[in-house]
Chain A
Amino acid sequence: EAAVTQSPRNKVTVTGGNVTLSCRQTNSHNYMYWYRQDTGHGLRLIHYSYGAGNLQIGDVPDGYKATRTTQEDFFLLLELASPSQTSLYFCASSETGANERLFFGHGTKLSVL
Chain B
Amino acid sequence: GDSVTQTEGLVTLTEGLPVMLNCTYQTIYSNPFLFWYVQHLNESPRLLLKSFTDNKRTEHQGFHATLHKSSSSFHLQKSSAQLSDSALYYCALNGNYKPTFGKGTSLVVHP
Instruction: Give residues in A with beta carbon < 8 Å to B.
Output: 31, 33, 35, 40-45, 48, 50, 56, 58-59, 90, 94, 97-99, 101-102, 104-107
Contact = CB atoms under 8 A, between A and B. Distances in A.
Given A43-B101, A101-B47, 19 more contacts: A33-B99, A40-B9, A42-B102, A42-B104, A43-B104, A45-B99, A45-B101, A56-B98, A59-B1, A59-B100, A94-B99, A97-B94, A98-B95, A101-B50, A102-B92, A102-B99, A104-B45, A104-B46, A107-B44
B94 A99 contact: yes
Interface in B25-43: 32-33, 35, 37, 43
Nearest to B37: A102
17 contacts: A40-B103, A41-B103, A42-B101, A42-B102, A42-B103, A42-B104, A43-B92, A56-B98, A58-B98, A59-B1, A59-B100, A90-B44, A98-B95, A101-B35, A102-B45, A104-B45, A105-B44
Contacts of A104: 44-46
Nearest to A33: B99
B90 A42 contact: yes
B96 A98 contact: yes
A99 B44 CA distance: 20
A43 to B, nearest CB: 4
Contacts of B50: 99, 101
A98 B2 CA distance: 13
Nearest to A101: B47
Nearest to B2: A59
Contacts of A101: 35, 47, 50
A50 B97 contact: yes
B33 A43 contact: no
A75 B101 CA distance: 21
A98 B33 contact: yes
B52 interface: yes
Interface in B51-95: 52, 90, 92, 94-95
